[in-house]
């Protein structure tokens, strides 16, 4: 009966073939490791965010007068409202933690190299959308930090020469940040950006399945196939890969629930304490800091303290910050190495990748604390080392001595 119903559908829509191609029979390299779990977990977090977001939406009020109070209402009066809100705030941090791990995996194993350039670029778009989602969502509770973060970030557009001020007014929809601004950020956060994110993630997975997964050795698993044309060094996603993914989901949810139930503000990192105060446009908080996942870029913004060629320091900082996010997209064309994985790349690649990680963390710290002259110098130094990883890559990846790459994947 079931087979009959299924074949009725399959004759009209390739359901079984699609499920087999993109899910159950997808050939996953046998040497995938723990770094390959983040992609699946990102999809889990996306679902958590969509569900908790829709629930929050049922009681949230997107007006300057009512937003802050509606969050208090959700926290205190709505049944399990506190849980839904903490789920959403924890989910936001988890999303970024996972996306950084996911991107770093790609950088380690050269997953952006041919033929996965487009897959990488599409992935980068998801990151960009996530940054916008994070920012627009952060403003919605209309607390002190929401308001002033919006003020700082939006004013950056005002620093653009010639038309900055007009652009800023157009973006805000008002001459200062107001309920109108809140309302449009709300529209972006709940409709346009999630929709775009879902579409781009869908295309990301399609692109992945077109070229196939890379692996920690960075070798082409399609080179050696069995008599049925199945690559020898792969296994079907179901059941061999999904068991790992589901196990990872279990472990991840334990951590997630721990934060959600016992440590929801994450020491001020998941929810900033200043945001427990309602927005007040007459009182600037002592230190305006963004969420932890933007702090490396915030440190870059503040690192530029001098005007140059008639351009203001603020505008130059904005450019450097934007470049810090944008430069990832150029990686496939900056890397000239004949080898994909860091396992077989030369000593310079290893050095610069380590330097990148150190720079990212130090900048992350510097962006989360108040700036002092010495911290500004440190931020300038680590901004340079951050960019050195990317900008010197065409040289060091081309001329360094790499180790021989095996023909087939290795298993430890």
128 or 168: whose CB is closer to ligand HEM? 128
241 or 400: whose CB is closer to ligand HEM? 241
Round to whole Å and give the CA distance between 362 and 382: 7
36 or 352: whose CB is closer to ligand HEM? 36
Q: Which of residues 160-219 bind ligand HEM (CB under 6 A)?
A: 201, 204, 208, 213-214
Q: Which helix (H) or strand (E) holds 350?
A: helix 347-366
Interface characters, 315-334, with ligand HEM (x: CB under 6 A) = -------------x------
Measured from the CB of residue 45, what is the shortest distance to ligand HEM in angstroms? 8
28 or 301: whose CB is closer to ligand HEM? 28
Question: Three-class SS of residue 55?
Answer: helix
Who contacts 137 (Cβ-Cβ below 8 Å, separation ≥6)? 92, 189
Tokens linked to 61: 């009020």
Instruction: Tell me phi and psi for residue 185, to 5 degrees.
Output: -65, -35
Round to whole Å and give the CA distance between 411 and 216: 10
Round to whole Å and give the CA distance between 329 and 407: 29
Q: Which helix (H) or strand (E) holds 234?
A: strand 234-236
- Residue where the block lists tokens 């915030």: 298
Measured from the CB of residue 81, what is the shortest distance to ligand HEM in angstroms? 26
89 or 213: whose CB is closer to ligand HEM? 213
Measured from the CB of residue 232, what is the shortest distance to ligand HEM in angstroms? 18
Measured from the CB of residue 83, what is the shortest distance to ligand HEM in angstroms? 23
Burial class (CB in 10 A: 0-12, 13-18, 19+), 190: buried
Tell me the number of residues near ligand HEM by CB under 6 A: 27
119 or 156: whose CB is closer to ligand HEM? 119
Interface characters, 12-51, with ligand HEM (x: CB under 6 A) = ------------------------x-xxx-xx--x-----
Where do runs of H (alpha helix) occur along 67-190? 67-76, 81-108, 117-139, 144-158, 164-172, 179-187
Measured from the CB of residue 39, what is the shortest distance to ligand HEM in angstroms? 2
232 or 242: whose CB is closer to ligand HEM? 242
Residue 33, CB half-sphere, CA atoms under 13 Å: how many? Answer: 14
123 or 143: whose CB is closer to ligand HEM? 123
36 or 135: whose CB is closer to ligand HEM? 36
Interface characters, 65-104, with ligand HEM (x: CB under 6 A) = ----------------------------------x--xx-
Structural contact between residues 232 and 408, judged by C-beta atoms closer than 8 angstroms? yes
Measured from the CB of residue 297, what is the shortest distance to ligand HEM in angstroms? 15
Measured from the CB of residue 201, what is the shortest distance to ligand HEM in angstroms? 5
Where do runs of H (alpha helix) occur along 140-281? 144-158, 164-172, 179-187, 193-211, 242-262
Among 116, 172, 189, 345, which residue sits at the site for ligand HEM (rule: CB under 6 A)?
116
Comparing C-alpha atoms, which of 146, 145, 171, 138 is closest to residue 157? 171
Which residues of the chain form contacts with ligand HEM (CB under 6 A)?
36, 38-40, 42-43, 46, 99, 102-103, 106, 109, 111-112, 116, 119-120, 123-124, 126-127, 201, 204, 208, 213-214, 328
């Amino acid at each position: 009966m079931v087979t009959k119903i299924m074949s009725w559908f399959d004759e009209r829509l390739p359901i079984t073939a699609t499920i087999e191609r993109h899910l159950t029979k997808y050939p996953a390299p046998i040497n995938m490791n723990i770094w390959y779990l983040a992609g699946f977990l990102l999809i889990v977090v996306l679902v958590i965010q969509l569900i908790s977001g829709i629930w929050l939406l049922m009681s949230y009020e997107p007006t300057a007068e009512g937003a802050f109070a509606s969050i208090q209402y959700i926290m205190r009066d709505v049944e399990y409202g506190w849980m839904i809100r903490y789920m959403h705030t924890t989910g936001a941090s988890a999303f970024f933690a996972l996306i950084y791990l996911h991107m770093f995996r790609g950088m380690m194993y050269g997953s952006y190299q041919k033929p996965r350039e487009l897959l990488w670029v599409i992935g980068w778009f998801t990151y960009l959308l996530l940054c916008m989602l994070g920012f627009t969502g952060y403003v919605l509770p209309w607390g002190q930090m929401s308001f002033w973060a919006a003020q700082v970030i939006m004013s950056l557009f005002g620093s653009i020469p010639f038309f900055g001020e007009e652009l800023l007014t157009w973006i805000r929809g008002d001459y200062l940040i107001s309920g109108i601004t809140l309302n449009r950020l709300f529209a972006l956060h709940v409709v346009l950006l999630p929709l775009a994110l879902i579409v781009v993630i869908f295309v990301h997975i399609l692109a992945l399945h077109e070229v196939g997964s890379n692996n920690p050795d960075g070798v082409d698993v399609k080179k050696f196939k069995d008599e049925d044309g199945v690559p020898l060094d792969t296994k079907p996603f179901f059941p061999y890969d999904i068991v790992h993914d589901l196990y990872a989901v279990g472990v991840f949810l334990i951590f997630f629930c721990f934060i959600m139930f016992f440590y929801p503000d994450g020491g001020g990192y998941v929810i900033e304490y200043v945001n427990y105060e309602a927005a007040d446009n007459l009182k600037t908080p002592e230190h305006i800091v963004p969420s932890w996942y933007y702090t490396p870029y915030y440190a870059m913004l503040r690192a530029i303290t001098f005007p140059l060629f008639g351009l203001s320091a603020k505008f130059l900082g904005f450019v450097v910050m934007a470049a810090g996010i944008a430069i990832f997209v150029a990686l496939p064309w900056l890397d000239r190495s004949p080898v994909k994985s860091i396992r077989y790349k030369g000593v310079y690649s290893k050095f610069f990748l380590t330097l990148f990680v150190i720079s990212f963390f130090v900048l992350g710290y510097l962006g989360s604390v108040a700036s002092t002259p010495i911290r500004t110098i440190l931020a300038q130094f680590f901004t340079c080392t951050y960019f050195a990883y990317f900008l010197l890559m065409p040289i060091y990846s081309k001329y360094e001595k790499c180790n021989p790459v095996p023909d087939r994947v290795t298993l430890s």
